[in-house]
Amino acid sequence: MNEQLPDLHTHFCDLHLEAHMYASQWFLTLFTAKFPLCMVFHIIDLLLCEGLNIIFHVALALLKTSKEDLLQADFEGALKFFRVQLPKRYRAEENARRLMEQACNIKVPTKKLKKYEKEYQTMRESQLQQEDPMDRYKRENRRLQEASMRLEQENDDLAHELVTSKIALRNDLDQAEDKADVLNKELLLTKQRLVEAEEEKRKQEEETAQLKEVFRKQLEKAEYEIKKTTAIIAEYKQICSQLSTRLEKQQTASKEELEVVKGKMMTCKHCSDIFSKEGTLKLAAISREDQGIEPDDEKDSLKKQLRELELELAQTKLQLVEAKCKIQELEHQRGALMNEIQAAKNSWFSKTLNSIKTATGTQPLQPPQATQPPKEST
């Protein structure tokens, strides 16, 4: 520093600011204590490539770039500058790169460093030879006492840390045991719920089977009634058709007989006076009042039977429509019940699986017990 930066060296001597007050941390930590990593990476690369001399280069480059600020600072200001302001300056990668370029340009001969090392060793030996042996022994004894006190303090710290660790481990073990007990209770409760859920599922399956059987019987009954009603309707239609055919035949036969009788009567002079020129029977009302004509009575009875059959046919059709409506309503109720049963099964099954997963997933201390899988529902 006296050779490279003589004015800064003189300023530091006037302030009684020695190199170990600011540079010891640089050398012991390879500049990693205060400076950003982007700068430290460059320094380590140069150290692995060039050797230990690069540390002196970087230190001289730092002093050289901060020379103007350091010359204006006092003792406290210089120490604060090294501690706070200097690391902030090289947070930018561009500033760190320029510093590395300047450090590589600084020349510190290896021979000169070795010469300084020899002079330092000679100076230390001469100081030791000139020193009183009693003072040296006292200093060595004081150093050993400090080392002993430091080791005792470290021993006490380790003992305290060991006791603290044992207490913490005991507390952790107690908490783990408590948690294991809670998880075991939850597992037992979950198993009990699973058994209850399986029992409920079995009951629901039985109820479902009963409902299916009831619906099946009602459906068969409705189909049987439909078939019966259809057969009755077909029979009524056949009877109506037969009666209509029979009525038409009787009407035709009556007309033919009436024409024959009329023709015979027209051949008779005495009987022809009864009829008009248009062929209308004059005494028809009298004869009808006096004599009950058998074909008219049979015709009335047939009409009455036809009306009864039509009324019964209408009632049968009405019953058929009511049966169809009832079947549709039963089908709708059956679909709604099946949807409710399926939703209840899905909800129960998902809740059971979630509770089992939660109980087995939050229990790391015990291996999961094998459980019998639930029977598949038909």
Fold assignment, 6-130: Cyclin A; domain 1 (1.10.472)
* For range 311-329, the mean pLDDT: 80
Say what the pLDDT of residue 294 is. 55
Query: Residue 28 corresponds to which tokens in the numbers above?
Result: 């012991």
pLDDT band at 278 (very low <50, low <70, confident <90, very high): very low
Find the largest Cα–Cα distance for the chain. Answer: 195
Strand partners, 275: 281
Could you report how far apart the first and last alpha carbons of the chain are, in Å?
A: 94
Say what the pLDDT of residue 285 is. 43
Distance of CA 74 to the CA centre of its chain: 66
| Residue 303 scores a pLDDT above 90 | no
* For range 324-340, the mean pLDDT: 81
Say what the pLDDT of residue 125 is. 84
Query: Residue 9 corresponds to which tokens in the numbers above?
Result: 């060296």
Q: Where in the chain is the domain with CATH 1.10.472.80?
A: 6-130
| Residue 352 scores a pLDDT above 80 | no
Q: Say what angle helices 110-130 and 53-65 make with each other, to 10 degrees.
A: 100
* For range 346-373, the mean pLDDT: 59
Query: Residue 55, exposed/middle/buried by CB under 10 A (0-12, 13-18, 19+)?
Result: buried
Closest CA to 62 of 92, 22, 93: 22
pLDDT tens for 62-117 read 999 999 999 998 999 998 999 888 988 888 889 889 999 988 888 888 888 888 88
Closest CA to 321 of 202, 229, 256: 229
Contacts of 30 (CB under 8 A, 6+ apart): 40, 43, 44, 47, 55
The region, left, alpha or beta by phi > 0 then psi within -120 to 50, assigned to residue 359 is: alpha
The rounded distance, in Å, linking the Cα atoms of 321 and 327 is 10
3-class SS at 137? helix
Highest mean pLDDT among 31-35, 48-52, 117-121, 166-170: 166-170
Highest mean pLDDT among 196-200, 278-282, 294-298, 329-333: 196-200
Q: Which residue pairs from 229-234 have beta carbons closer than 8 angstroms and sit at least 24 positions apart in sequence?
A: 229/316, 229/319, 229/320, 229/323, 230/320, 232/316, 233/313, 233/316, 233/317, 233/320
Query: Residue 350 corresponds to which tokens in the numbers above?
Result: 């998902």
| Residue 297 scores a pLDDT above 50 | yes
The rounded distance, in Å, linking the Cα atoms of 350 and 376 is 14
| Residue 220 scores a pLDDT above 80 | yes
| Residue 194 scores a pLDDT above 60 | yes
Strand ranges inside the chain, DSSP E = none
CB 71 within 8 A of CB 7: yes
CB 46 within 8 A of CB 104: yes
| Residue 276 scores a pLDDT above 60 | no
Say what the pLDDT of residue 377 is. 41
What backbone phi and psi angles, to 5 degrees, belong to 368? -65, 140
The rounded distance, in Å, linking the Cα atoms of 192 and 198 is 10
Say what the pLDDT of residue 64 is. 92
Closest CA to 43 of 79, 96, 92: 96
Contacts of 348 (CB under 8 A, 6+ apart): 197, 200, 201
pLDDT band at 159 (very low <50, low <70, confident <90, very high): very high
* For range 5-16, the mean pLDDT: 91
Average pLDDT, the chain: 81
| Residue 174 scores a pLDDT above 90 | yes
